[in-house]
Structures are given as structure tokens and as C-alpha cells.
Amino acid sequence: MADEKLAKLREATAGLTQISENEKSGFLSLVGRYLSGDEEHIEWAKIHTPTDEVVVPYDTLESPPEGTEATKKLLDKLAVLKLNGGLGTTMGCTGPKSVIEVRNGFTFLDLIVIQIESLNKKYGSNVPLLLMNSFNTHDDTLKIVEKYTNSSIEIHTFNQSQYPRVVADEFLPWPSKGKTDKDGWYPPGHGDIFPSLMNSGKLDLLLSQGKEYVFIANSDNLGAIVDMSILM
């Protein structure tokens, strides 16, 4: 029964022209795991506070390197990636939550850019900013980042995957049933970062620039900043 469902869904998904072959493959892989019963269920009784053997206590980390040049070498291996796919609906916003004004006329995104500009200016480094958008925020974000054209930092945008919602009764992708607007699709969440980085070509770009580390945080988390002790 599961094989029949998946075969039917695969045939219908093949006809969706709005998404790439990589997106189709990722979507069908997730559905296949669900139908096979291989999805992992959390056993809450087994969840415990991690020990120091698993998570290294912050106060035991090495001190950051002394000197601008040593710090610059580390920072030049780093990129900052902000998750920018969410809409600020819970905050009364109709667009990307990163453009909500939070302090003295500055938005989340303004302050993120200022943070990275200050870091690069202090150490002479080249830490780029990547924004992972969703189909909900992509168009608006492209217009918004134009204001940073004269910024001293590199800003790159890319989209996370776009997966079709499934009609439960028929087990078919909703867009194949005529629901082709945004309500027929969904972005598959933060776990999609790594395939989206690769599929977008941004991973190859970062590697060509000598980047080895990516710092990831939500676009509305201004407390999540680069920490040299952790980067060590």
C-alpha cells in the first residue's frame, strides 16, 4: 500500500514544473521515510541534560588568539548565515521578520549588517552574510538588500527548498490538484539548510573563498553573535 502511494505521488510530483529535480527528490525522500515507518519518534523518557563529555562547558574553552592578524585568519574562514524564511505574522508584520524595526529605527537586518561590518572593520577580515530565504520572503528580501549596496560586507541570498503540500485523502501534491498559489507549498524548515546551500551553489562559492565554518542563527536573534572562543 505504501509503495503504491509513493508511486502515485512520484508520478504526480514529476509533473510539477515550479520546483527543481533536487527539490522533488528531497520531497519524495521525506515522504518515503514517513510511509516506511522509518521516521524517528522521540522517546522523551530518554532525554536528559547533556553531560560535559557531550557539550564542552563554555568556561573551559581556550582564550581567543591575541593580535589582529591571528584573529583575522580565523575570521576569514567564517561565514554568517541567517535563517530568513519566516514571516513576522506573530509580530504583526506581513513580510520577512528580519525587517521589523526593533531599535531606534533599525531593523533586525540593519543591526545584523552593522554587527558584521564592525567585526570586519576591526580585524580587516571578510566575513560574508548569507540569508536563507523561503519562497515567502525571497522577493521582498531582494528589494530590501538593495539598501546595503554600499555596505563593506558581501551579502548573498538563496532560497531554501519549496515542497508541495499533500492532499491527505488522495495522497497527491496539492499543486497538481490546482492549488498553485503559495498556500499549496511549504518551506521544509531549518533542516533544509545544508541541501539548500549545496543546491543553490553557495556551498561551492564559500569553499572557493576558503570558508570552513558557518555560523547559523535566526534572523531575529540579535544576541547570536560571532564568538572567537567558540570559533577557536
Q: What average pLDDT does the chain have? A: 90
What is the rounded average pLDDT of the residues 190-205? 93
Digit-coded pLDDT (tens) for 74-101: 999 999 999 998 876 666 666 788 888 8
CA-closest candidate to residue 198, choices 182, 183, 176, 214 = 214
Digit-coded pLDDT (tens) for 5-46: 899 999 999 999 999 999 999 999 999 988 887 656 778 898
Distances (CA, A) of 123 to 41, 61, 73: 46, 21, 9
The widest CA-to-CA distance across the chain, in whole angstroms, is 64
User: Tell me, what's the pLDDT at 63?
Assistant: 86
CA-closest candidate to residue 84, choices 152, 147, 136 = 136
Distances (CA, A) of 135 to 7, 96, 107, 131, 132: 27, 11, 21, 13, 10
User: Tell me, what's the pLDDT at 89?
Assistant: 66
* pLDDT higher than 90, residue 51: no
Strands (E), the chain: 78-83, 101-103, 106-107, 129-133, 155-159, 163-164, 166-167, 172-173, 185-186, 213-218
Length reported for the chain: 232
User: Tell me, what's the pLDDT at 3?
Assistant: 81
- Residue 189's pLDDT band, with cuts at 50, 70 and 90, is confident
* pLDDT higher than 80, residue 55: yes
Residues of the chain with pLDDT > 90, as a percent, come to 59
- Residue 56's pLDDT band, with cuts at 50, 70 and 90, is confident
User: Tell me, what's the pLDDT at 38?
Assistant: 60
Structural domains in the chain, sorted by start: 2-40+62-231 (3.90.550.10)
pTM summary value: 0.86
Whether the CB-CB separation of 46 and 95 falls below 8 Å is answered with no
Q: For residue 219, with 0-12 CB atoms within 10 Å meaning exposed, 13-18 middle and 19 or more buried, which class applies?
A: buried
What is the rounded average pLDDT of the residues 132-160? 92
User: Tell me, what's the pLDDT at 91?
Assistant: 63
What region does 207 belong to: left with phi over 0, alpha with psi -120 to 50, or beta?
A: alpha
Pairwise pLDDT comparison (109 vs 97), residue with the higher score = 109
**Is beta strand 78-83 parallel, antiparallel or unpaired with respect to 213-218?**
parallel
